[in-house]
């Protein structure tokens, strides 16, 4: 039985899981994350949820091959509907998808989060959609992490129940990441600013409509406020 070797990205997600947790990993195509967590003795047990048949079968076979079938239940289900009342799930992980899709999964299945204490999500892009969902649904950020692996930058958001509000900049870049402003954060947002600047200059040549004016204002507002943040 081989021990799972996780990517840096999934190792970072794993680092936010508390000892003894019962985890639902949603979108678990190989069930690598829950398998690692079981092998390391970090979690009691897990559900690995997957909506597509092929990856679901891959996850089931992998769990069997790694000898962790007694601790990991693999379910073919859409989003949080993989979680059942008796599972006792207290932690949900959703990694490797777009932020809007993660926010949709959270919104559609939020009734299944009643007993969940911690959400650990790793959007590949558009983390803002998750922060906005969190604020509207009484979840607050308790930690954030940014990392770079194989040339790609990833954010991890750790949420627990709580009532909070964030300003527009915090929603966009993350309050914890903004407070830290490390070199990866700077690299990410310098890249975004240069892309927005290119988009803005191409929009300058387009015929003006109310939507276009709106879009341009939003882009220049973001460029200005982030520019100030990165100056400091
Ligand atoms: N979580 C793993 C990781 O981070 O490496 C796998 C990421 S993979 C790119 C995304 C997986 O999520 C795919 O296997 C996809 O089928 C699954 N997925 C997408 N939408 C889903 C949903 N609504 N419910 C469950 N799984 C979903």
- Of ligand 1's atoms, which has the minimum distance to the CA of residue 101? 20
Same domain? 161 vs 210 = no
> How far is Cα 200 from Cα 197, in angstroms, rounded to an integer?
5
The pLDDT assigned to 208 comes to: 86
Q: Is 160 a domain residue?
A: yes
Residues facing 93 on adjacent strands: 25, 120
Same domain? 21 vs 87 = yes
Q: Is 139 a domain residue?
A: yes
Query: Which range of residues forms the domain containing residue 84?
Result: 8-168
The pLDDT assigned to 205 comes to: 87
The pLDDT assigned to 24 comes to: 98
Torsion angle (degrees, nearest 10) of CA 17, 20, 24, 28: 70
The pLDDT assigned to 180 comes to: 97
The pLDDT assigned to 64 comes to: 97
Same domain? 192 vs 90 = no
The pLDDT assigned to 107 comes to: 98
The pLDDT assigned to 98 comes to: 98
Pocket (CB within 6 angstroms of ligand 1): 10, 26-29, 49-52, 55, 78-79, 95-97, 105
Q: Choose which residue among 12, 27, 59 to substitute to test ligand 1 binding: the one with the highest number of ligand atoms within 8 A of its C-beta.
A: 27
Taking the chain (232 residues) in runs of 10, the rounded mean pLDDT of each run is 92 98 97 98 98 98 97 98 97 98 98 97 98 98 98 98 96 97 97 95 89 92 93 84
Residues facing 155 on adjacent strands: 146
The pLDDT assigned to 81 comes to: 98
* Number of domains, the chain: 2
Which is nearest to 89 in space by CA: 120, 116, 119?
Answer: 116
């Amino acid at each position: 039985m081989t021990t799972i070797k996780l990517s840096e990205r999934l190792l970072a997600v794993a680092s936010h899981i508390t000892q003894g947790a019962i985890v639902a990993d949603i979108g678990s195509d190989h069930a690598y994350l829950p398998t690692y967590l079981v092998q390391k003795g970090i979690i009691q047990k897990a559900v690995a949820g997957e909506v597509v048949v092929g990856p679901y079968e891959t996850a089931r076979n992998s769990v069997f091959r790694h000898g962790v079938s007694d601790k990991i239940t693999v379910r073919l289900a859409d989003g949080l509907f993989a979680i059942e009342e008796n599972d006792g799930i207290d932690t949900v992980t959703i990694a490797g998808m777009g932020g809007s899709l993660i926010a949709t999964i959270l919104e559609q299945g939020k009734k299944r989060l009643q007993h969940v204490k911690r959400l650990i999500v790793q959007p590949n892009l558009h983390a803002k959609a998750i922060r906005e969902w969190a604020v509207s649904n009484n979840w607050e950020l308790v930690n954030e992490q940014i990392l770079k692996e194989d040339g790609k930058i990833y954010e991890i958001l750790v949420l627990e129940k709580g009532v909070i509000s964030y300003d527009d900049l915090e929603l966009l870049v993350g309050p914890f990441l903004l407070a830290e402003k490390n070199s990866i954060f700077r690299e990410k947002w310098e890249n975004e600013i240069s892309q927005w600047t290119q988009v803005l200059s191409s929009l300058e040549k387009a015929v003006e409509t109310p939507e276009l004016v709106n879009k341009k204002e939003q882009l220049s507002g973001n460029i200005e406020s982030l520019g100030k943040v990165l100056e400091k």
